[in-house]
Structure 1
Amino acid sequence: MAKTAFLGLGVMGFPMAGHLRANGHEVTVYNRTASKAEAWAARHGGRIAATPREAAAGCDFVFACVGNDDDLRQVCSGPDGAFHGMKPGAIFVDHTTASADVARELAADAAARGLGFIDAPVSGGQAGAENGALTVMCGGDAGQYARAEPVIASFARACRLMGPAGAGQLTKMVNQICIAGLVQALAEGVSFAQHAGLDVEAVVDVISKGAAQSWQMENRHKTMNDGQFAFGFAVDWMRKDLSICLAEAGRNGASLPVTALVDQFYGEVQALGGARWDTSSLIARLPKAGKA
């Protein structure tokens, strides 16, 4: 069993850290809002640290799931960052969805300090985190990955090394690009069925057994049909992720016309007051059945 730390106890990090503890690993947690760390410790019995540096002291692995590139830099190499407290040979595993550039930057910084760094963004959402069934896409050194993978398995159903530092983040970008188009197509399909006077549940039951089947269809058609969006992966977070995809495409020459369009549509959802709605709220910007 490993001595670990987990930095960031949001809707993903809170259950992920819990799975580490449930699998027998020693866990120290840090969260910017201390009350969340206290709630986690009350439920799972681990230790609380006042800073990332303190949490990382003596650990074999330090996990993080924070907001963005700047948050990640702060918990890694800021004045009280984890890199200052980690022992030589320890490995930092970053589950934040961030840029490939920051992954490469922090991997180089870690290596210069005698530390390991794996960029390991996840897919599966809050339900995947709670059920310990996330898909983890990793970038980094193969030897370091081999050491980290059995511990990551505490909350993953699939985990794979995709290449050197940054490759995990690039793979997550592909994931978000694909999701954006799928959710928009599903929103249009559900809306069309409503306008056509069809039974949406019956329609999805049939077509989900054919070529149109997807995770989004099976898990989000009902809430789209019901107009219920107060849960799940927030529009604000999706727009952050899509901005990373579009910026990377601008650098590597990829063309992402559908992704750019869906990003604009999410901007319309934000204007409707849906910044914290689930990403399935794309249907909210479409005209309702029976209205011009």
Structure 2
Amino acid sequence: MHVGIIGVGLMGHGIARNILSRGGFALSFLDHPGNQPVDEITGLGAKACATPAEIAAVSDVVILCVTGSPQVEAIVTGEAGLAQALKPGAVVVDCSTALPDSTLRMGEALRAAGGDYIDAPMSRTAKHAHEGQLNLLVGGDAATLDKVRPVLASFTERVDHVGALGHGHRLKLLHNYVSVGFMTLLAEASAQAADAGVDPQILVDVLAGGGGSSAALDRLAPYITAHDREGLPFFVANAQKDIDYYRAMSEASGAQKTIADGVSSALAGAVDAGHGQAYVPELVSIFRKADS
């Protein structure tokens, strides 16, 4: 199979290198200013394309690894988009974090173009992407997933089929709401502790020995104790985007979102203050008192 990828950023670069080096597949990628340096993947044989349509014309599988629904929709149905040149039977695998309603519309557009679509949002970090150990939550037809499993196996540790098309993105938003929500709450508590002069290691130890023990604490502890942000290279602006996608999904279904509104407000304050490109662990400092 010839594979295409659109979005060679922090996560997509790792996916691309493993498709080439571990999977042994031919790879085309969209030439875009948002890409990470592509010397490694071009050295492994990857070929640059100028438009999504050019990628569609040569690819049996196309992987999307972009910011969210507006970008996915432009790539799939926009000018020189995938739907204009899709090979018959080709599968588009959307590894982005997107809105389920948009995912269903993109699925219809690609099926009308003669292909198919699965949503396969990722969990874990850029380090796991580099090492080929991502986890995917896949929504869509099981037979379609089986067609692309050899490609997915090249950059994943675990692939879970979670239901019909759209369920992957729905579960990813639920997951990120809980994960980002926990980390935002923890950052706010840690900021208050720091303002009060509490020893940060003692704070971490107390939380770890009680009800605060969690993956969120594991991810933020290096920053709380040593201002090391590198364990979670996830931008605050992207965290806010994911929470707002969750809020939109909740509003569309009539679900309660009171706590999500509070998390969004906290993150929006950080973004509005110019910290959108900070990593999430840095909220521990961003949330401190202005005179700290």
- Give me the TM-score of the superposition, normalised by structure 1: 0.89
Alpha-carbon shift at residue 169 of structure 1 (Å):
0.8
Q: Which amino acid aligns with 2:114?
A: G
Alpha-carbon shift at residue 236 of structure 1 (Å):
1.3
Q: Do the aligned partners of residues 68 and 232 (structure 1) sit closer, same or farther apart at CA in structure 2, a change above 3 Å counting? A: same
Counterpart of 1:111 in 2: which secondary structure? Answer: helix
Counterpart of 1:67 in 2: which secondary structure? Answer: coil
Match of 2:21 in 1: 22
Compare 65-74 and 202-211 and name the one that shifted more.
202-211
Separation of aligned partners in 2, 1:104 and 1:59: 22
Alpha-carbon shift at residue 20 of structure 1 (Å):
0.6
Separation of aligned partners in 1, 2:285 and 2:203: 20
> Unaligned stretches of 5+ in structure 1?
none
Counterpart of 1:272 in 2: which secondary structure? Answer: helix
Alpha-carbon shift at residue 108 of structure 1 (Å):
1.0
Match of 1:88 in 2: 88
Q: Do the aligned partners of residues 37 and 288 (structure 1) sit closer, same or farther apart at CA in structure 2, a change above 3 Å counting? A: closer
Match of 2:262 in 1: 261
CA contact (8 A) 2:3 2:59 kept: yes
CA contact (8 A) 1:4 1:56 kept: no
CA contact (8 A) 1:41 1:48 kept: no
CA contact (8 A) 2:94 2:119 kept: yes
Taking only aligned residues, the RMSD between alpha carbons, in angstroms, comes to 2.5
Q: Do the aligned partners of residues 199 and 290 (structure 1) sit closer, same or farther apart at CA in structure 2, a change above 3 Å counting? A: farther
Answering whether residue 54 of structure 2 is matched by residue 54 of structure 1, we say yes
Alpha-carbon shift at residue 234 of structure 1 (Å):
0.9
Question: Once the two structures are aligned, what percentage of the paired residues are identical?
Answer: 26
Match of 1:99 in 2: 99
Separation of aligned partners in 2, 1:177 and 1:12: 20
Counterpart of 1:57 in 2: which secondary structure? Answer: helix
Alignment: residue pair count: 290
Separation of aligned partners in 1, 2:52 and 2:263: 36
Answering whether residue 67 of structure 2 is matched by residue 67 of structure 1, we say yes
1:228-268 deviations in whole A, cap 9, x for unaligned?
Answer: 65871111111111111111111112112222111111111
Separation of aligned partners in 1, 2:213 and 2:154: 29
Alpha-carbon shift at residue 290 of structure 1 (Å):
9.3
Alpha-carbon shift at residue 191 of structure 1 (Å):
3.2
- Give me the TM-score of the superposition, normalised by structure 2: 0.89
Alpha-carbon shift at residue 161 of structure 1 (Å):
1.5
1:18-63 deviations in whole A, cap 9, x for unaligned?
Answer: 1111121111111322975753543432111122111222322111
Alpha-carbon shift at residue 135 of structure 1 (Å):
1.9
Q: Do the aligned partners of residues 11 and 98 (structure 1) sit closer, same or farther apart at CA in structure 2, a change above 3 Å counting? A: same
Separation of aligned partners in 2, 1:35 and 1:278: 19
Match of 2:126 in 1: 126
Separation of aligned partners in 2, 1:64 and 1:251: 25
Separation of aligned partners in 1, 2:85 and 2:201: 53
Match of 2:178 in 1: 178
Q: Do the aligned partners of residues 209 and 16 (structure 1) sit closer, same or farther apart at CA in structure 2, a change above 3 Å counting? A: farther
CA contact (8 A) 1:29 1:37 kept: no
